[in-house]
A and B are shown apart, each in its own frame.
Chain A
Amino acid sequence: MSNKTDSNTYTILFAIGMVVVVGALLAFTAASLKPNIAENQRVEKQQNILYAMGVNNNEGGSANFISTANTPDAFQENIKEQLVLTVDANGAIIKTQTREEYFNEAKQEPYLIDIKKQKTNAKNGEPRLLPLFVGEKEGKTYYIAPIYGKGLWDAIWGYVALNDDMVVQGAYFDHKGETPGLGANIKERFFMDDFIGEHLLDDSGVFKGITVAKGNADPKNDNKTDNEVDAIAGATITGDGVTAMIKSDLKLYKPYFDNLKNN
């Protein structure tokens, strides 16, 4: 006896029906949970920025953010100014806006600027926006800049806190889908803490960046002016991604720090 579910017409109709039903269900779920997810991501960005400037709950060897509930207050307290620099295709700063000026224009907080989109703008020769967060903690000023690049499997990004000499005061890296135990270790403290104290400029003040180096002659990272930190074994491409995003993105801030010095 031939079964009606074996016919080709039935199979095709079933497949189409299934796709429509499942698609509608997923669209409904995604749409109804979107506000919650967006709120979580917003708080996470604030936590990342605060982490980079050393406001965190680190304990032992693990990296911990301050609690979600305390984040908005801590952000308000520690981040004194959010600047938005507009740079042209040649890297010259056209405009510097304060948070209020940017907010009135774009109706959006500067920390929510999509770095990936800004990079695409720059590729097309358009001006791009560079957010810069100025934080103050225990009398010290931190300049925190977001960076964005690609690792082995997907996007990697982070925030680097600098002082006015462009010496790293703290760093936070994160990734979308690097290999657990290998590339994913860029968000572990033993890697992120190595960046603290590293210089971005060489002795003559030229931007050099920081290289995640294999076969580093300085594995304990005692020499903080060699512009190198030790790589993670087995994570070469992710490490190269970190090097590349530090070089390409932080370089853009150099004119700002030059101005800061000259004034």
Chain B
Amino acid sequence: MGLLSKKDAKLITDPLADDNPITIQVLGICSALAITAELKASIVMAVSVLFVLGIGNVVISLMRNIIPSKIRIIVQLVVVAALVIIVDQVLKAFAYELSKTLSVFVGLIITNCIIMGRFEAFALANGPWKSFLDGIGNSLGYGVILIIVGFFRELLGSGTLLGFKVLGDPIEKTGLYAIGYENNGFMLLSPMALIVVGIIIWVQRTRNKALVEDH
């Protein structure tokens, strides 16, 4: 017997690929476009969503039998908003530079469709442990895409990864820049994030034909 039953493990692994919130459910696109110009910001956004969705799902699941159905959406919003404010304050206290980079986007977690979607579709109908796994799975699925997009955008747009110059120095003309490579400024603009997400979706559906919808 492993740590997780087969069914529980699927809650984590499914959203990573075949039921990915970004590439399959097409949720949470806004933040994937907005903050992925740097790998560091992508990672922090992924971790923040992991925290908010993991805990939020458990809280909603624990409260699922006492939440009045008439105001359940408001209750969900209050839970997300409170958790987001806590994340924001903690970032301001312990990672100030980062909190400024993320600025409005931490607040944008509130509007991240994935979170309300998981509360409504999963946590309101399942127990806390399952909801926790579902929250972790979905935010990891979200985070994986964010990190892939952030990786390519920062690498091709700035020639750096996490701030380290991996392709050489563009001003001193060392490394790849010595043979005429130039940073692609387009990669730093939001539309290129959409194109990178599109390419990920394309690759994923080419590899797994079952994901392609027939019309």
Report A's interface with B, CB cutoff 8 A: 3, 5-6, 10-11, 14-15, 18-19, 22, 25-26, 29-30, 33, 36-37, 40-41, 44, 60, 68, 177, 180-181
Contacts and interface: CB of A to CB of B under 8 A. Distances in A.
Contacts of B67: 5, 14
B190 A5 contact: no
Nearest to B68: A11
Contact of B103 (A44, A60, A177): A177
B75 A18 contact: yes
Nearest to A153: B104
Interface residues of B, number: 26
A11 B70 CA distance: 8
Interface stretch (B3-11, B88-96, B109-117, B143-151): B88-96
A40 B170 contact: no
Given A22-B78, A25-B82, A180-B104, A15 B71 contact: yes
Contacts, number: 61
Q: Is the interface of B mostly helix, strand, loop or mixed?
A: helix
B161 interface: no
Given A26-B86, A180-B34, A181-B190, A40 B68 contact: no
Pairs A-B, 10 closest by C-beta atoms: A36-B93, A40-B96, A11-B68, A33-B93, A5-B68, A37-B92, A22-B82, A33-B89, A37-B93, A14-B68
Given A6-B69, A14-B66, A14-B67, 8 more contacts: A5-B69, A6-B70, A22-B78, A29-B85, A33-B89, A40-B92, A68-B96, A180-B103
A180 B108 CA distance: 13
Nearest to B82: A22
Nearest to B70: A11
Contacts of B82: 22, 25-26
B189 interface: yes
